[in-house]
Structure 1
Amino acid sequence: MTVKLKSDEINNKRTEITMFFWNIGKKDLTDSLNTLLNESPMDILIFSEANISIRESLNKTLLPLGYKSRTPLKGAVRVSIFDRLPNVIYCRVDQYQTFIIYELLGMKVLVVGIHLLSPISAPIDDRYVDATKQNENIERIEAEWGIDKTIVIGDFNMNPFDKGMVSEKAFKATHCKQTVLSNRTKKPYYFNPSWRAFSNDLTLEGNNAPPGTIHFIPRNKDSDVNFWHIFDQVLIRSKLFSELSDRYQILFKWNKHFLLTDNLIPNRLSYSDHLPIKYTINLQAE
């Protein structure tokens, strides 16, 4: 397969960037990923729960396709990133986030891969407190580099409506573009296109994507019947709005790979308990 690298296309005044995130649940899913990329190449690939051997396996497969590992293949890395983009001017790996700044079309764009505390290990109030700390880290980098074009993508381990996502003190993310654009406060909003996936319906032929990225039944199911959750989300700043800024997709099948069981929930035995997401955005030079 001949791959046309994004570096060949990025010199124009406008370019489309596709991003992919998957919490792969400590499984080597390289074969299924290779099939997907040969069918639908993407630009930035972000993974969580990929140990050293899995990252090395990914690198072996992705390198011939033009991808470069931006994070160490050895050591403890919670969020690993591979891409086929030029002009990386900053990269930092933290405990829960990986930060990369790209210079694209003469603009600095911050991409943050994230994997926050699990509901299994931390109650919702603790996850809210942690979300405030993690967003403060992002805001510090934005201020230091003078960046207003940021994309945060990954496993937040919260739903879009949870306090850690919507609170003024945490990510301050909304599903309403007008709210983002009309903001008069010092702290900017994020736009969160992930909300719309709740309306997906596997029973409909025209919109048969799952209504979430992870499915689990809580212990006290009499008090909570929301079994589908959207933990894997994308947040963007208003300066990145375009006609493609809503292109958030939950992927569950490609080629011979079907990531759901017969009961239409994620097949955690063969794949992962999380479904991957794809996000497309159109960058335009100022």
Structure 2
Amino acid sequence: MGFPGTWMTESESMVYRVVPKCACSTIGQIMYRSDHGHFFDGDIHDAQGGLHKWAQERSQGPITDNVTARKSLVFTCVRNPYGRILSSFFDKICGIQRNGRRYRGNLVPMLVQKYGIEVGDPETGFEFDQIRSFRRFLLFARDTIRFRKPMDPDIHWAAMSGHVSTLIRGGGRYDMIFDTENFDAGMSAVLARAPLRHPVDLAAMPRFNESEGHGPRRAHPVEDFFDDLSMHLMREVYGRDFELFGYDIDDPSRRAPVREIDLDAVHAKLGG
């Protein structure tokens, strides 16, 4: 299966397994900056050079050689599943994408028809019942992940453990997994261990949130979106994410992890 979703600096200073909706745009830009001394002009997901990506055929050999021989620091970044699924909803379902269209063409009309979801309209300020629509989207996300109906799960709401596991099952091993809730500390630790061509000042760098400003702002605290049924669905679909990455499944308002990630446990449970 190789190493899907894996990026590596051209200098091979570090290897990163992308987990969507977990600061991947920022991390990719940091990797690019550490090699070239400047940030990529545009969305780093669009970069066709300057960074090895598994999706580019020319990069697959170097990534495979590096990861299987464990030549470089390998890391990834995770996020509280409650915040991550909300971000997926507001960005991918409610938001207008950078191409000026809705995400995945007919996806949103299908959700409106089959699940009764509302997404609002930019012309009217995206006014709609966010909580009701999100809970219906969560039911759809559960259906895609558990039953692969009415479609296969999208990478933006597929479980983080599934993304993280591919590198392990391919023969790689993570040196670090940190959380977005403590991003500066985690990313600083990565940069301190990698042989950088150019230093990166995390405090001075711009934010790279490609979805910001293209959809509705969340109008309620995280915990307001999750009633008993929603929390049951989260446990059903993302229970392993909460367990492996140290988040509190019983308290949606508790953003930060409640314990450190046990790397040995992650490799043992995701390596099968």
TM-score past 0.5 threshold: no
* TM-score grouping bracket, smaller chain normalisation: under 0.3
TM-score scaled to structure 1, two decimals?
0.25
Greater relative contact order (Cα < 8 A, sep 6+)? 2
- TM-score for the superposition, normalised by structure 2: 0.26
- Per residue, is there more helix in 1 or in 2? 2
- Give the structure with the higher percent strand: 1
